[in-house]
Chain A
């Protein structure tokens, strides 16, 4: 398609982008600026973005004030990773089955999966709590990982299924003719070809898991050492005052793993990985 934008169309497009980016990025900028300011000048009136004595001190003192901070970050990362890995183990075969096999109630099952997704985790917190209590699973990593996994699976299946149905059927037929079984085909042919789709699912699952762990940790866990970052951040809320600058510094550092995962994985979302498979 050959289409050249006019100058005012460019202006409109960039203006629109600027508005959205401002909304998305402003909190981060604010968090960063707050983390740099000394606590005393945080509530200056009138409000000022730049104040005297700005420094990175908070990034060092936060580790001393909350000694377990690194543990919380590690927990967060561990829980999100575990949820993602376990989720993928369920999502990949399930999505493949939904994409390729004919079986009774296939479409209604898919419908149920999306319907389950409409419940927010919060609605099920109390029944889940009772369950965990019954089986003595409270205050374990498992209590935070299992529900998280259950919630990333439906979206994952939907995402990956729509990617898998677009993979040419001939690839599987060729493998079948060559004597490969279903599992072998899935492992050696489908998964490598579907890698970009799987990466998208991985990122979504990881981010979802990272975001949703707060509610599960808050309810199912009271052991400080097992807490993920969002719960751990409460330690910055003192009796008299909130250590805002350190809180913001810790939050920003806590985001880094997600950012890291994203940057690392997005290299694999390359167009044209299927190039040459079949003639389009």
Chain B
């Protein structure tokens, strides 16, 4: 079935190494999403799995077979491109049938498979049209249709929704998730859109400059980012980072001093001595509260966005590395230029050492899942 292993996979262009040793195990039927900023190597990695880029080092194994030197079609993969890559002179039917024509499959078999794919993707009405007559969403479905007729063990998607408008993207996201459960296939999906990553993935692979920064379930990445990069990348708006100084560490967590002089105890596990060390405190904008809390920070908003459900403020704060952002309830009385005191609780905070690695939070993901269930 569709298991996939990457063992110390590397890629260099001349002197420049773009993929610096990636290890990953994907089980059959998993939906894996590669995310990362542009240039992190996520598309290159996908193309290496597809067989469109040669790998410089390491092994790629699909269904227990090393496929390093095999052409794409022998790897049992199918790929959907960002630009759809439909053949403009062929009808939708011929586009979907293309891989089968290459295989020289019998006519009635082709008919049967194309009809089945068209059924799944609701393209039956469109089979005789040319790609140029279709909307963006339909074109993308044709591209997916071309992938599913081959019944591959692994599907590869290279930012398939990034050319669609927001409403269609949301719709296609749901369709893709449904397709994944219908087809019972392994899917690897590249995106820079973290909403896509969070909503569709079984596991997310966060890539940063050619290395895997963290692999985990969406909630794991949200609640327990392993380093500053993942913490800042997952979550929207971005997590706020504040320079703090370590004070004491005990079983309850680490107590740090904020730039304002206030102390706060962050519930993380630590064994190292933190006293006097410069640390980074992370707090997500949605975890800031108005008024009383374990500690407060005085901010003066520069920009206030009223979204109805939320009020988002942006301010400059001493010790914060970038704009300090908060997501408050829609009714929050925030005004530009009017000082507000933001409350933060130690249980919501993240703590990172000088090298950007996180102290593990005292939080069990099972508890989070249970909490979700009750809601």
> A177 and B73 in contact (CB under 8 A), knowing A184-B102, A276-B139?
yes
How many contacts A-B (CB < 8 Å)? 89
A-chain residues with CB within 8 Å of residue B130 when the two chains form the complex: 276
Return the chain A residue nearest B75 by Cβ.
A177
Asked if B282 lies at the interface with its beta carbon under 8 angstroms from chain A, I say no
A-chain residues with CB within 8 Å of residue B82 when the two chains form the complex: 170, 279
Asked if A176 lies at the interface with its beta carbon under 8 angstroms from chain B, I say yes
C-beta contact mask, B80-104 vs A, less than 8 Å → 1, else 0? 0111111111100000001100110
C-beta contact mask, A153-182 vs B, less than 8 Å → 1, else 0? 000000000000000101101111111100
Asked if A21 lies at the interface with its beta carbon under 8 angstroms from chain B, I say no
The answer for the CA separation of A174 and B77 in the assembled complex, in Å, is 12
Which of B51, B88, B90 touches A275 (beta carbons < 8 Å)?
B88
B interface size (C-beta, 8 A): 33
A interface size (C-beta, 8 A): 25
User: Closest approach, in angstroms, between the C-beta of B90 and any C-beta of chain A?
Assistant: 8
Which of B73, B131, B139 touches A179 (beta carbons < 8 Å)?
B73
C-beta contact mask, B23-66 vs A, less than 8 Å → 1, else 0? 00000000000000000000000000011100000000000000
Q: Are B87 and A279 in contact, CB atoms less than 8 angstroms apart?
A: no
The answer for the CA separation of A189 and B95 in the assembled complex, in Å, is 11
Asked if A192 lies at the interface with its beta carbon under 8 angstroms from chain B, I say yes
Q: Are A177 and B72 in contact, CB atoms less than 8 angstroms apart?
A: yes
Greatest chain B CB density within 10 A among A178, A189, A192 is at: A178
The answer for the CA separation of A35 and B294 in the assembled complex, in Å, is 104
Greatest chain B CB density within 10 A among A174, A175, A184, A193 is at: A174
Q: Are B133 and A276 in contact, CB atoms less than 8 angstroms apart?
A: yes
Q: Are A168 and B83 in contact, CB atoms less than 8 angstroms apart?
A: yes
The answer for the CA separation of A184 and B102 in the assembled complex, in Å, is 8
B-chain residues with CB within 8 Å of residue A273 when the two chains form the complex: 88-89
Return the chain A residue nearest B146 by Cβ.
A178
The answer for the CA separation of A275 and B81 in the assembled complex, in Å, is 17
B-chain residues with CB within 8 Å of residue A171 when the two chains form the complex: 85, 87
Greatest chain A CB density within 10 A among B77, B130, B131, B134 is at: B131
User: Closest approach, in angstroms, between the C-beta of B133 and any C-beta of chain A?
Assistant: 7
Asked if B78 lies at the interface with its beta carbon under 8 angstroms from chain A, I say yes
Q: Are A276 and B102 in contact, CB atoms less than 8 angstroms apart?
A: no
B-chain residues with CB within 8 Å of residue A179 when the two chains form the complex: 71-73, 99, 102-103
Q: Are B132 and A275 in contact, CB atoms less than 8 angstroms apart?
A: yes
Asked if B136 lies at the interface with its beta carbon under 8 angstroms from chain A, I say yes
> A278 and B84 in contact (CB under 8 A), knowing A173-B52, A177-B50?
yes
A-chain residues with CB within 8 Å of residue B134 when the two chains form the complex: 276
The answer for the CA separation of A50 and B51 in the assembled complex, in Å, is 74
Q: Which of A193-226 contact B (CB under 8 A)?
A: 193, 195
Asked if B163 lies at the interface with its beta carbon under 8 angstroms from chain A, I say yes
Return the chain B residue nearest A173 by Cβ.
B52
The answer for the CA separation of A178 and B79 in the assembled complex, in Å, is 8
The answer for the CA separation of A273 and B50 in the assembled complex, in Å, is 29
The answer for the CA separation of A176 and B74 in the assembled complex, in Å, is 11
C-beta contact mask, B137-149 vs A, less than 8 Å → 1, else 0? 0010000001000
Asked if A277 lies at the interface with its beta carbon under 8 angstroms from chain B, I say yes
Q: Are B98 and A192 in contact, CB atoms less than 8 angstroms apart?
A: no
Q: Are B83 and A276 in contact, CB atoms less than 8 angstroms apart?
A: no
Asked if B238 lies at the interface with its beta carbon under 8 angstroms from chain A, I say no
User: Closest approach, in angstroms, between the C-beta of B43 and any C-beta of chain A?
Assistant: 12
B-chain residues with CB within 8 Å of residue A193 when the two chains form the complex: 87-89
Asked if A272 lies at the interface with its beta carbon under 8 angstroms from chain B, I say yes
The answer for the CA separation of A277 and B81 in the assembled complex, in Å, is 11
Q: Are B131 and A276 in contact, CB atoms less than 8 angstroms apart?
A: yes
Which of B52, B73, B139 touches A178 (beta carbons < 8 Å)?
B73
Asked if B150 lies at the interface with its beta carbon under 8 angstroms from chain A, I say yes
The answer for the CA separation of A179 and B86 in the assembled complex, in Å, is 15
Q: Are B99 and A277 in contact, CB atoms less than 8 angstroms apart?
A: no
Q: Are A274 and B146 in contact, CB atoms less than 8 angstroms apart?
A: no
Return the chain B residue nearest A176 by Cβ.
B72
User: Closest approach, in angstroms, between the C-beta of B12 and any C-beta of chain A?
Assistant: 17
B-chain residues with CB within 8 Å of residue A274 when the two chains form the complex: 88
B-chain residues with CB within 8 Å of residue A188 when the two chains form the complex: 87
B-chain residues with CB within 8 Å of residue A175 when the two chains form the complex: 87, 98, 102
User: Closest approach, in angstroms, between the C-beta of A92 and any C-beta of chain B?
Assistant: 16
B-chain residues with CB within 8 Å of residue A184 when the two chains form the complex: 102
A-chain residues with CB within 8 Å of residue B163 when the two chains form the complex: 279
B-chain residues with CB within 8 Å of residue A170 when the two chains form the complex: 81-83, 85
B-chain residues with CB within 8 Å of residue A189 when the two chains form the complex: 87
The answer for the CA separation of A273 and B90 in the assembled complex, in Å, is 11
**Can you list 27 A-B contacts (CB < 8 A)?**
A170-B83, A173-B79, A173-B81, A174-B79, A174-B87, A175-B87, A175-B102, A176-B72, A177-B51, A178-B73, A179-B72, A179-B73, A179-B102, A180-B98, A193-B89, A272-B132, A275-B131, A276-B88, A276-B132, A276-B133, A277-B85, A277-B131, A278-B83, A278-B84, A279-B82, A279-B83, A279-B163
Query: Across chains A and B, which 6 residue pairs bring their CB atoms closest together, nearest first?
Result: A276-B132, A179-B73, A276-B131, A278-B83, A170-B85, A275-B132
